[in-house]
Structure 1
């Protein structure tokens, strides 16, 4: 392209082509409402890349219009082989048009014409008007449009094509590309060409004869005879194909230089659309920075003494929500120090440098005012931090992080910055971007102070928006009755912690070290020499070259030595089994035996896990730093690790475990008569299932049969396949399939429930629990059978697992309330899925057992379950002994 500073550059985007490219190139992204968004995302990022990197003077997007084209009237088979547009793509088309409109980019389409024709016409008109033109496409057909002032750009490959590139590819100038296309055809558009002539032959023929017309006129000169015969026989096809491949540069589309100039986006439209699509990263990039006037610094009150605190409180409207934002030092919530905090209510915002002696009395009264909802982001962290300085915050609470989790359970990012941007269009921290995290809170450290104040102000704005959204979704009752009352319970569990026998683990560590050293000698003997056991490469050499074992799955770096492979190889040789045992013991030592003592809090001498309320989409709690829900429950060394979790002197541990909670919820949801009968009679569901699938009386059911039946029961809940079940219980796939089929014959109500859950999930886009917790499952709408199958398993399982999660949360709230009222010295110290663990003074043990069992089993009646709940209790001075 010749350069001339006076010429403007117009970019013409092949919109329809990039919709297809984005859809098939990107994985099936979805927003929380179930809309597939990969094509929109890919298309939009392409546009933004062009605008950002190429800085065009003008830009236009061309789309195909629905309905038959002139080419299809000419040749009915044109593009006839193409499958219909996938549903996941067609649903995104209106959003792509909205993206183009929001970015204020002109779009053109015309009945009967393809996007190529509109681009060709505009390119020619723009060039005649004195513009340079860049056609954005990956379609080789467009090469025919190249001129000294028209180039092709493919942003996916970051590749430019002008006249030299066209000649290099096809051996002819751009105008004669259609001659080559006429001979070779185009399978993607079903243009026939001359069957038997490929690209190389077509290029050679046109280089020799110039055009199809000239080639056919001098066809007798063509060699070999086979090619000549093809051309004579298919001459009409060649002419037709050239016509179909020729882009119409005279389509009825107008060139308007001024209308096509790049203009600023329609910011409100763009922001609303990005929020709807949940393109958080793009929203952060494209949302304009907050204006200085929008930040609270100018109106911020700094509280220095009790009179100024009293004046601030006096200005607040009675009963108005109170936003609270702590400024914390680094570290875990249990150890974080409060450096100060900001409060905002009724348009008033104040920052409080921490000095409990000078102003905390009026503020304490304010924080304990039960007529005000306390709006906090990550309430648990705030409760834990305030507890360290002797401050309590009374409910009712509105935790924006938990609220966003209920609204968007599939999303990982529930940060205040993300929620503020999406819900109220406020970008946090723009005016303080140079401020650094505080080391201490001196008067001059205004950056951190202003950030906390801004966050409090935004929390006050968020409160009504989040409540409105929870109400619209039908999640407000779940939020108020379960999730908010649970937060103080979780904070208390974390604060209580679990006592650890550090000396016992030190002894166990030395024992394991000795055992591992001994195993290394055994392994070296079996391998015929020493090697690095932790090196997959060296292990592969030993197994497959030295010992000659049959290799399995191959990876990029060589043959796999993963757990599945070693398990299969263990039937051929003793070495793989020894490696598996070595790996298992080594992991136990590093992950638990050596790591746990390092995580003991030096102040309390206890382990304080973090129970996460906003991670698992099912509603389950997770445990981190350390993960105490993952402490091994099997194997000698695993059980000895549990022995290290102990009760202090004159106390004992009480473990209360819901028995068969998911099968009971399955019975309630399915209303299957056989399942209901089993639980009403107090029978063992796994024994009953074994009797049903093996057609035997209880006296003839072996331990292995009951175990197989248990796998069937839980496999059904998790949507297991015959293959998966066969792997779990070690039987042929046909036999596993028979077990599943027999189960569904006996428990037809379960099959009906599964079908109903999948159908409702597809119709609504989500499933719900007994208490109305939503789980969006966009995978149910996927065109990919693997993704759709995954979605169907989630649709089966989520209502059951989610209801179990809701149920244990209700139990935790009820038990905590009862303990505070009746037995304040008994502490809840951990939750592990269906199990609650308590630290009980020995003299209170009998009463604690009664209270805990009564409250936990009472949840069934509270939730109107159709079957009774059963809680198994266990006690002991360590976790292993106390496990029921």
Structure 2
């Protein structure tokens, strides 16, 4: 039986590589976690690939080494470990030890020396794999020792060392001594690169041979070699890995994993996806943590066995009494469909605090397994007084869905006070997920029963109505229980944050039912018009394809990036402007737009892609989305997706319909008003520039808006030193690009690309802009500094936007975060303004439902469907409420349009 290989992990090299390569990941408490995630993930893969092997993890020990005594300048120029990385090291060590892996930090030597010694100590004939990205380790390779770079997926043996370096492994230290190492500050022969050094070693055997024949090497490189003779032996000493350390010879087999500790660390660090691999111990739902979210609230852990099903009239009556007495109840529904327009109620869950514990019950009403359950009509009639009581405080997770389900049955719940989805989002919008399962893990260290565990997935999935009551009970009751407990964790965090509390209670919570009404209303689309457009797009796509084939000189698949790469870059030899993460030439829209200046084919591919998107996403898809009951399309609005606070929509996504092309406008023309109604569109004018004027208080910007000037023409006059009457359309277009480009943190390079000018000219434009608008420059610098100090920026209304990578050691990520920090307060404030406007307009509409209904929101635009008889009153009310929603240092201006379809109203 062959012996398992010994795996030696050069963890220090991977620590830095992971820190610089990965995004600035953060734990729930904002502790940086990117390096931990990268190294731990690499080790997790190793453990799967080598489950029974010796895996020894080696780090550099803190403090100096013997090499510093040999050469005080050794690594002297290296900066200190970044604080964000230093903070991660102890927790990474905890993770490694909990994984059962031997962890070594040996003082006065480097990890390389420890690894070299352990490699030599391996049993005779035992394979050794050194996991590293460090070229120095190549000197350890032999017939039994190989290198593995897991980040690149490259394995290096003796032949690989020869191929890469041109010398045998035993001469790598000689090679490094001759070339020197700028990173480690090891002096070499000036001007001697790896090829030159390898040639010398091949000719003279090793460094000693090279030194002995130094006089035979001519030219300037020979002079440089002879000038280096005194210190090259020291360089060799520094580059040589010690393989004779006095390390204990013992078994290095891994020990058992400490599952509770790994689970605790995964939750502490926010690595929620790994929790399924670290299940909680039986009877310990909190995963072995010393302090749980429930314990903080004085609540006992979740106990699913305590959940009850309400199946008799007497139990229901008793439940209603408890609900009426409870100061706060979490409410949840189980249904047959994700679309509330089609969802039949299957059950209702409620949770509340009673004494020192949370009570949670489930009322089944629509299960098909024959289990005892109450009639739906009886349950709704009994619950109606409590559900519709505005003084009975309720909370939910994604209440918009549950409320719309109740509306379907003629019940209009009142008393919604909080939504855990929105609480989480307002506290930290940079988190990727705010679903209940994620919130349970993040804040309660509890793993919910998943929907798939109950209903199955794929071909074996069943409707929730087909799940037996006994199986549905713990899942459904847990949702309400967890919702109540998550709120108990999150709501107290708003008390010391009045700005965030205002955003939650004055913007996000009132908006829930506004969006619910908009989704319920939907919008009519013209099926016939879309069919005609689909046919036209199909013909235009075929014509465009034929032109592309002619331009390329061959037929190809216009939807295949690989074939496009071959034609553009191999056949046509167009320049490769950007590469994909996999190293292939990019054919992104941005790249094709730049290449279109040089050749016709990239332009044709762009046109084809644009038409294909319109056809597939809208012309063909929209008719399929028409609800057969209402005859309208009902988009879904998400409040908790965009970090800036912007709303997003899906099924269909209305945010991405192009408006600058004729075909894009044709899509909008298919959104039509009902007979006897018209569409009323109101759009904030230059809202982000007005917000910039307010935030920066720049004198010239304030004056331009106060006087009602065309801001782009005014900017053109300032930047290009023109009289106002001399500003033509080209100058205005360039000024518009500058105005909006600066808001989005555009660089001189980006502006040059957009305007088709030299980068130096773009830089000059930007410099002149800041000379004329110094308040904008000051605001930008103040915002960067504030973001660096506190890690976040805020909107005018208190919404917080975290930018942790503004402290990143990676220059590109830091620069991106700085741009985001400047833009976020403007984009976020614009989002807050449109949301506040929606609340105000909806309140006016609810005073008299005959006034019409709000049906769409896209970016800074609201669309109402109003009766033709009430058009003028609606126009005035809409404009008044949108312009009066906040008082800025410059006036808010709203343009209002009317039409039979969206494009006419918007235009």
Q: Same fold (TM over 0.5)?
A: yes
Asked if 1:418 is matched to 2:417, the reply is no
Provide the C-alpha distance between the structure 1 equivalents of 2:142 and 2:816, rounded to a whole number of angstroms: 51
CA contact (8 A) 2:173 2:239 kept: no
Shift of 1:54: 4.4
Q: Please list, as runs of the form range in 1=range in 2, the aligned pairs for 1:480-491 lying within 5 A after superposition.
A: 480-491=505-516
Provide the C-alpha distance between the structure 1 equivalents of 2:34 and 2:626, rounded to a whole number of angstroms: 45
SS of aligned partner of 1:860:
coil
Q: Please list, as runs of the form range in 1=range in 2, the aligned pairs for 1:747-766 lying within 5 A after superposition.
A: 747-766=773-792
SS of aligned partner of 1:836:
strand
Q: Which residue matches 2:255?
A: 262
Provide the C-alpha distance between the structure 2 equivalents of 1:633 and 1:167, rounded to a whole number of angstroms: 59
Change (3 A) 1:108 1:660: same
Provide the C-alpha distance between the structure 1 equivalents of 2:682 and 2:123, rounded to a whole number of angstroms: 79
Asked if 1:78 is matched to 2:74, the reply is yes
Asked if 1:703 is matched to 2:696, the reply is no
Q: Deviations over 1:129-170 (max 9, x none)?
A: xx9998765667779999999998876688999xxx779979
Asked if 1:860 is matched to 2:886, the reply is yes
Q: Please list, as runs of the form range in 1=range in 2, the aligned pairs for 1:370-381 lying within 5 A after superposition.
A: 370-381=390-401
Asked if 1:335 is matched to 2:342, the reply is yes
Q: Please list, as runs of the form range in 1=range in 2, the aligned pairs for 1:586-625 lying within 5 A after superposition.
A: 586-625=612-651
User: Which residue of 831, 834, 858 maps to 1:832?
Assistant: 858
CA contact (8 A) 1:290 1:430 kept: no
Return 701-710 or 607-616, whichever deviates more.
701-710
Asked if 1:449 is matched to 2:473, the reply is yes
Return 582-591 or 807-816, whichever deviates more.
582-591
Asked if 1:68 is matched to 2:64, the reply is yes
Change (3 A) 1:127 1:506: closer
Q: Which runs of 5+ in 1 are unaligned?
A: none
Q: Which residue matches 1:845?
A: 871
Q: Which residue matches 1:303?
A: 310
Q: Please list, as runs of the form range in 1=range in 2, the aligned pairs for 1:467-486 lying within 5 A after superposition.
A: 467-471=491-495, 475-486=500-511
Q: Which residue matches 1:241?
A: 236
Change (3 A) 1:334 1:204: farther
Shift of 1:121: 7.4
Return 634-643 or 230-239, whichever deviates more.
230-239
Asked if 1:879 is matched to 2:902, the reply is yes
Q: Which residue matches 1:404?
A: 424
SS of aligned partner of 2:61:
coil
Asked if 1:508 is matched to 2:533, the reply is yes
Provide the C-alpha distance between the structure 2 equivalents of 1:415 and 1:721, rounded to a whole number of angstroms: 37
RMSD: 4.7
Q: Please list, as runs of the form range in 1=range in 2, the aligned pairs for 1:112-151 lying within 5 A after superposition.
A: 112-116=108-112
Shift of 1:308: 1.7
Provide the C-alpha distance between the structure 2 equivalents of 1:536 and 1:132, rounded to a whole number of angstroms: 42
Q: Which runs of 5+ in 2 are unaligned?
A: 286-300, 366-374
CA contact (8 A) 1:296 1:450 kept: no
Return 479-488 or 580-589, whichever deviates more.
580-589
Change (3 A) 1:104 1:537: closer
Asked if 1:466 is matched to 2:490, the reply is yes
Q: Which residue matches 2:295?
A: none
Change (3 A) 1:36 1:646: same
Provide the C-alpha distance between the structure 1 equivalents of 2:673 and 2:795, rounded to a whole number of angstroms: 36
Q: Deviations over 1:523-555 (max 9, x none)?
A: 77888898776677888899899xx97734387
SS of aligned partner of 1:606:
coil
Q: Deviations over 1:263-308 (max 9, x none)?
A: 543836x555434533222344335266388765532222224322
Q: Which residue matches 1:42?
A: 38
Q: Deviations over 1:758-811 (max 9, x none)?
A: 111111111111112121112322223222221121111000010010111111
Provide the C-alpha distance between the structure 1 equivalents of 2:558 and 2:612, rounded to a whole number of angstroms: 11
Q: Deviations over 1:575-605 (max 9, x none)?
A: 7766655554454333322222121111111
Q: Which residue matches 2:18?
A: 22
CA contact (8 A) 2:65 2:109 kept: yes
Q: Deviations over 1:407-461 (max 9, x none)?
A: 3322322222121112101111279946535425368353333211222222122
SS of aligned partner of 2:655:
helix
Q: Which has the larger radius of gyration?
A: 1
**TM-score w.r.t. structure 2 length?**
0.81
SS of aligned partner of 2:806:
helix
Q: Which residue matches 2:89?
A: 93
Shift of 1:482: 1.2
Change (3 A) 1:566 1:806: closer
Q: Deviations over 1:183-214 (max 9, x none)?
A: 8647465666999895687699889xxxx9xx
Change (3 A) 1:375 1:70: same
Change (3 A) 1:488 1:544: closer
CA contact (8 A) 2:324 2:392 kept: no
Provide the C-alpha distance between the structure 2 equivalents of 1:677 and 1:622, rounded to a whole number of angstroms: 34
Return 656-665 or 394-403, whichever deviates more.
394-403
Shift of 1:327: 1.7
Shift of 1:365: 2.9
Provide the C-alpha distance between the structure 1 equivalents of 2:283 and 2:352, rounded to a whole number of angstroms: 21
Shift of 1:671: 1.4
Return 711-720 or 58-67, whichever deviates more.
58-67
